[in-house]
Structure 1
Amino acid sequence: MAIYFYKVNDPYGCFSNFSPHPIEIAGYHWATVEHYYQAQKFVNTKYEHIIPVIRQASTPEIAAALGRDPARQFRLDWEQVKCQIMYVAVKTKFLHHLNIQAVLLETGEEFIVEDSPTDYYWGCGKEKTGQNQLGRILMDVRREIRDNCAKS
């Protein structure tokens, strides 16, 4: 049985990048994984000035809108680095919030799916044919945490 998640207030909503679980990366506080992820699109670009605006956005929805603005060009290596950036952010979130780490570990070996009806890269899309990259990252983080706990 697969575990589907999407909205923050639904079961397994803590798996969403919009969930209110702040992270600290490279000395900066980010209100959500979404804030961090969207800001990273503009590192070393002429739009770098938007990074603190995204970081300080009052909601992840606003951070996402700022990061998706088609008027701003992403960093040149974005397609090559975006999965690693997401992995680091998601892993940081689950390492620092033990309550949701427990939820992730309790999923055992279940397949985890971001049930986004519109995102065919990070989610499964409306037809459930998407790549589900976020679900795959969550399963990788789950495996890494479990493996590290077993070594302790």
Structure 2
Amino acid sequence: MADSSSSEPLYFWRETDSETGWLSQWYDCPFMDDQDSTKKYKTAEHYMMHHKALLFDDPKVALEILRADHPRKVKALGRKVKGFDNEVWDANRRDIVRRGNILKFTHAVSEQGFHKSTTPKGRGTKRKLLPIEGSLKDMLLATGDREIVEASPYDSIWGIGFTAANAEVAKESWGLNLLGLELMEVRRILREQDQEKKTSGKSVKPDEPVQKKKKSEETIVDEVEEDEKDN
């Protein structure tokens, strides 16, 4: 597990990174929606973009996102959401990502058999994947109080805009690191929930994001079919 005694930031980026891929939004980890048993998300990116589409009442794209087989396709679909408003998205995006990651770390389809990264595709690699010790939630809690940082050189909103190798020397110029901040918030929430369960013996529901509506996949399919009939 991650070294919780270290005071150094825990950098991550790609889902294929051997030790930290599991922190990525693109990490392959099917999980369920605790509010709608008809929905399963292949990655946290699927959750994020699906709920982005729902936020702007675009059921067609929302359904396509649920059915997409790779987060790269999901990201592209997220850019096609109709009626997108940047101000509305900015007000809701962190809540959505936080909720998706709470589910990722607590509602996996299976708690067993995960690895620390996703296998790279199309590269002919034979790299051995490192197994996760315990559950994904255990892995996250085992990071202790370390700062979690998405070291993507291409993203200064969800990441810092620098690779891990260049992060320390460029610290004064870091981006927002919103994903890292939300992962640390998820860690705090899960830790507090565990503590509350110990003291009260009751389960605690995770915070819910601000959204206009919640729709099941069946509802989305019906809306899309009605749309197509009208056209």
Q: Does 1:74 align with 2:65?
A: no
Q: Which runs of 4+ in 1 moved over 6 A?
A: none
Match of 1:106 in 2: 142
* Rg larger for: 2
Pair 105,121 (structure 1): closer, same or farther in 2 beyond 3 Å: same
Task: Give the TM-score normalised by structure 2.
Answer: 0.60
1:5 corresponds to which of 8, 12, 22: 12
Shift of 1:131: 0.6
Pair 96,42 (structure 1): closer, same or farther in 2 beyond 3 Å: closer
CA RMSD of aligned residues (A): 1.9
Match of 2:58 in 1: 47
Residue ranges of structure 1 left out of the alignment (5+ in a row) = none
Q: Secondary structure at the match of 1:20?
A: coil
Task: Give the TM-score normalised by structure 1.
Answer: 0.89
Q: Secondary structure at the match of 1:4?
A: strand
In structure 2, C-alpha distance between the alignment counterparts of 1:117 and 1:137, rounded to whole Å: 19
Higher relative contact order (CA 8 A, sep 6+): 2
Q: Number of residue pairs matched?
A: 151
Match of 1:15 in 2: 23
Q: Secondary structure at the match of 1:81?
A: helix
Question: Partner letter of residue 134 of structure 1?
Answer: L
Q: Secondary structure at the match of 1:113?
A: strand
1:103-148 CA distances to partner (integer Å, 9 max, x unpaired)? 1111111100011111111111125511111111111111111122
In structure 1, C-alpha distance between the alignment counterparts of 2:177 and 2:9, rounded to whole Å: 12
**Identical aligned residues as a percent:** 32
Match of 1:88 in 2: 99
Residue ranges of structure 2 left out of the alignment (5+ in a row) = 1-7, 112-134, 163-169, 199-231
